[in-house]
Structure 1
């Protein structure tokens, strides 16, 4: 088996050496520290041509830059002449940005220095459907224009074949291979086919950017291998060393997941797995009296068989403490093994990904641990800026929670926990049946349709939809519709829930529900994970499938159509 793996590694080493760029510094290289200071933040601007004032008013550009910390979705408004500008945060090279121009056009942009995107609206509309990446009426101009023309043309080149091969690679990764060489051979075969497609494109499309295609392919390839081994079995050292040697040059989805899955592989090896129980909480110095009582109860019933029914509730009471302790230890351990495995610059880049919580207070706490461990100056600049942003956001959240307003209420649920000045009303529910919850909801909002949003504070797709939901509430202010948000207590707590609502400034009726009610609602509406959406019309009739994603609903006209 070792001989087979060694042969495979030698093959990949040859391929990798062919792809090495000349005269380009990777962000992992020590020389990048000086470049970071000298670089300007890439400029991305553009303009919609032959567009009416009404279309300008109705069009919003939604864009998602890929950063070292993942994806961050932003919006940009069109100026009166149809021009726009996309804002990036850092002077990093080759930044990938996913862009939706209303319902008109979708593309992936690549910002290195300066890019100007020109969209001829009548030509795009003439196609009769949303277009993607390249089309008649789309021009990529400026210094980064040729880069974008090339990368987007490659995305469309034999696209169906490439998507099918990517699907096959995921199937290999998800299957159980009794012999690792079988998995490696399958991965390599698929990657070789992708390389053949890539070589065909490069041969017919000569470009100084061809090396970026190879770098992206290898980032995706190595990511899938790391995911395959993430189940807990260790790679051979030579294979791990080969993957460690790979450097990424784009700030893209492929490079981001490469670092993320490489980190996840090592973190999930059996010796590195970490479990925190209620016993780990015992020695904390700031326990409340109720927490101490829960610990005493757990201790006194530890040897009883059968275990008292209340043990589960006592443990649940300590869950917020256990989650915080788990995060603190996970980050401390992550910092230690990153420093022991990688160069200082790669270790610091990957430390940024340890800050992966969706909760602003946990982000602040994580960065307080991460910042002192960093030695790479440009990474410290980014970490410090992210920390300052977290501090500012947390202060804003606390101010929002400290103010009260006169928001709509759900009369059937008693007095709310809180009403905010941005129109949110907050309730906490436990020990309620699904049928009772829905009956009280209908009683509270008789004659109104209900948009029900099931979400979790840790669910990235849920949070990505929230800005759309907020806009829809504005669009629906004259319609008989109420927006109801039910957040599960699973993996969260009341404080996180409140902070996230305040951070988003999301109006509507909000419920923090226990896991039993959450599970019942999931069963009633056939929700498959998070988020989940349900629409109940003015007569109290549930309309299955009426809402798939909130972002699909474009405005007041779509909402009014739901009411018919």
Structure 2
């Protein structure tokens, strides 16, 4: 128990009271409901200076909002004069946004009321590489300008040292560095740094105790913490606080084939699988087919698991926390990458939400999920009968290892999906969204290659969609050649990549979608490609 005693000691010695200004309200506070109704969505605008017409056409701004339901990536384009506007969804305070200005500049923005970002392209180019957070040639203006100047200055302050200390939970040293920055950089926003530090540390503590009940006094201290930003640190705090309870042995949700057997709407095929499982239940050793039979019930078991996990989560959140905190954390129970599962989760969660502003967000997210599912299906249904890939134009390259490469830009997500289905009539499609810099994506590629080789006789095609964000055409081609990865490959601009991410509710990279031989999108069939072990598993998807 020494490790847990050490954590408790740290908490009792480093936790301090917040010094936020009088009148600042956390979203957990009951009075925030009235504020939410009166607030306007923060405005984030700006302009690139000394940018030529070609750069205006070629520059895409990719930005990721940190929301109550996870991260959401969007794109924006420059107007003819170099100006731009970022679109936020809700009138929440202190929203964190991670922004790529093409290959020029990367930063974290904080939107509370109104922010204007001015970038001098000539000065940024002179730096010779992508600049981060704060530099000559970047100005944060407007009402939120001083907040952004301060927070991005701290981002760079002893950055490498702070990242190393954070990973080792060295809170005394982190607090010393923070105090040094606050002392040398007077600002009314210093209290936000302490709030962020505690959110991050408490999330680490919850992760540390995820399989061991923590002492009541320790839990009470963590429970008393309130986050004032919509940032990675604050959202991870709520997320890991939920993980702590979810991973305790007593709270773990389990679903077996016996649970499926109690359902009243079983298909004939499912009944046959269940009969096989029952008939071999007492045999030792178990027949090799038992695992395969159980896997055939996977979609049913997965849906039951999601329903039970959410129902249990709603119960214990309501029993442990204030209504607002419980409702905030209920929104995080909707964590599936699949849009149909998100829709089903919100249908469970919505009736339990009592906080007005949380209900507004949940209802809008539910309406969005309904439209996303419908949008995907409309795009697939709009295709014609012609089995041709001519709609994508001539391929850039066809390799001797079976890869066909295309480059796409200025295409809508709906057009892409419609032409994709039109190109492969009578074949199922495994769609893989990836990036050249995404380690998990690349880790799955060798297995994806093997699946293709093993399933050459099946009516199925593998389609790989690589984002241009953070990459270029040369790197994309080299990576495909390095892996000798067959299939249909698309290199797409950030706008199309973001649209496909929205259509299929991909929360990041990699992302997978499955479209059957009839052109019907099948939500939730593929979460990770490694879960599809061999040709037999692929064949099962086609039934």
Scaled by the length of structure 1, the TM-score of the pair is 0.73
**Any conservation in 2 of the 1:396–1:503 contact (CA below 8 Å)?**
no
State which of 271, 278, 290 in structure 2 corresponds to 1:299.
278
Q: Deviations over 1:512-562 (max 9, x none)?
A: 897234999xxxxxxxxxxxxxxxxxxxxxxxxxxxxxxxxxxxxxxxxxx
Once the two structures are TM-superposed, the CA of residue 21 in structure 1 deviates from its matched residue by: 4.1
Match of 1:223 in 2: 203
Q: Supply the distance in 2 between the matched residues of 1:78 and 1:351 (Cα, whole angstroms).
A: 37
1:371 equivalent in structure 2: 350
1:400 Cα shift?
2.4
TM-aligned CA distance change 1:97 to 1:18, over 3 Å: closer
Matched, 1:123 2:123: yes
2:515 partner SS: helix
CA pair 427-18 structure 1, distance change in 2 beyond 3 A = closer
CA–CA distance in structure 2, aligned partners of residues 145 and 22 of structure 1 = 21
Distance of 2:166 and 2:262 partners within structure 1 = 49
Residues 82-138 of structure 1 show CA distances to partners (whole Å, capped at 9, x for unaligned) of 000000000000000000000000000000000000000001101111001011110
Q: For residues 262-295 of structure 1, give each alpha carbon's deviation from its aligned partner in whole angstroms, at most 9, with x where no partner exists.
A: 0000111010011100000111121111001111
In structure 1, the residue matched to 2:428 is: 427
Please list the CA deviations of residues 413-449 of structure 1 after superposition, one character each: whole Å capped at 9, or x if unmatched. xxxxxx96232445379xx9966944997xx9xxxxx
Task: Answer yes or no: is the 8 Å Cα contact 2:18–2:195 preserved in 1.
Answer: no
Aligned to 1:459: none
Higher relative contact order (CA 8 A, sep 6+): 2
Equivalent residue number for residue 189 of structure 2:
209
Q: 1:56 to 1:359 in 2, by over 3 A?
A: same
Tell me, yes or no, if structure 1 residue 113 matches structure 2 residue 113. Answer: yes
Rounded to whole Å, the distance in 2 between the matches of 1:391 and 1:141 is 38
The answer to whether the Cα contact below 8 Å between 1:497 and 1:512 also exists between their aligned partners in 2 is: no
Any gaps of 5 or more consecutive residues in structure 2?
391-397, 403-415, 431-446, 491-511, 523-527, 538-543
Contact 1:397 1:502 in 2 (8 A): no
2:174 to 179, 188, 194: 194
| Residues 455 and 535, structure 2, Cα contact 8 Å, conserved in 1 | no
For the residue of structure 2 that corresponds to 1:422, the secondary structure is helix
Q: 1:89 to 1:407 in 2, by over 3 A?
A: farther
- Gap runs ≥5 in structure 1: 170-189, 413-418, 445-449, 454-462, 486-494, 505-510, 521-564
CA distance in 1, matches of 2:77, 2:315: 44
Aligned to 2:515: 498
CA distance in 1, matches of 2:115, 2:239: 28
| Shift, 1:8, TM fit | 5.0
What is the alpha-carbon distance in structure 2 between the residues aligned to residue 280 and residue 301 of structure 1? 17
Is 1:314 paired with 2:298?
no
Equivalent-residue separation in structure 1 for 2:451 and 2:212 (angstroms):
47
1:516 aligned partner: 533
Query: Equivalents in 2 of 1:198, 1:159: separation in Å?
Result: 11
Q: Supply the distance in 1 between the matched residues of 2:222 and 2:145 (Cα, whole angstroms).
A: 32
What residue is the counterpart of 1:91 in the other structure?
91
SS in 2 for 1:16: coil
Q: Is residue 133 of structure 2 the alignment partner of residue 136 of structure 1?
A: no
Q: Secondary structure at the match of 2:151?
A: helix
Q: TM-score, normalised by structure 2?
A: 0.76
Q: Using the alignment, how far apart are the partners of 1:440 and 1:317 within structure 2? A: 19
Distance 2:208 2:7 in 1: 15
Corresponding residue for residue 56 of structure 1: 56
Task: Tell me the distance in 2 between the aligned counterparts of 1:122 and 1:72.
Answer: 30
Q: What is the number of equivalent residue pairs in this alignment? A: 453
How far apart in 2 are the matches of 1:470 and 1:124?
19
- 1:246 is aligned to 225
| Cα deviation, residue 198, structure 1 | 0.7
Give CA deviations for 1:292-315 in whole Å, capped at 9, x if unaligned.
111111111111223222222211
SS class of match (1:108): strand
Alignment of 1:343-354 (within 5 A): 343-354=322-333
In the aligned structure 2, how far is the partner of 1:433 from the partner of 1:74?
Answer: 28
CA distance in 2, matches of 1:289, 1:519: 20
- 1:544 match: none
- What is the alpha-carbon distance in structure 2 between the residues aligned to residue 59 and residue 434 of structure 1? 34
SS of 2:282's equivalent in the other structure is coil
**Are residues 18 and 369 of structure 1, via their aligned partners in 2, closer, same or farther at CA, if it must alter by over 3 Å?**
closer
Q: Structure 1 residues 6, 353: closer, same or farther in 2, change over 3 A?
A: closer
Q: Would the aligned equivalents of 2:20 and 2:192 in 1 still touch at CA under 8 Å?
A: no
Q: Tell whether the 8 Å contact from 1:407 to 1:421 is kept in structure 2 after alignment.
A: no
Cα separation, 2, equivalents of 1:295 and 1:194? 56
Residue matched to 2:165: 165
* Cα distance in structure 2, aligned partners of 1:362 and 1:265: 23
- Give the match for residue 13 of structure 2: 11
Partners in 2 of 1:310 and 1:400 — Cα distance? 39
Structure 2 CA distance for partners of 1:402 and 1:469, relative to 1, 3 Å? farther
Q: State the shift of 1:22 in Å.
A: 2.5
Q: Does the 8 A contact of 2:381 with 2:418 survive in 1?
A: no
Q: Distance in 2 between matches of 1:433 and 1:34?
A: 51
Could you tell me how far 1:192 is from its partner in structure 2? Answer: 1.2
Q: How far is 1:18 from its partner?
A: 4.5
Residue 272 in 1 paired to residue 251 in 2?
yes
Q: In structure 2, the residue corresponding to 1:134 is in which secondary structure?
A: coil
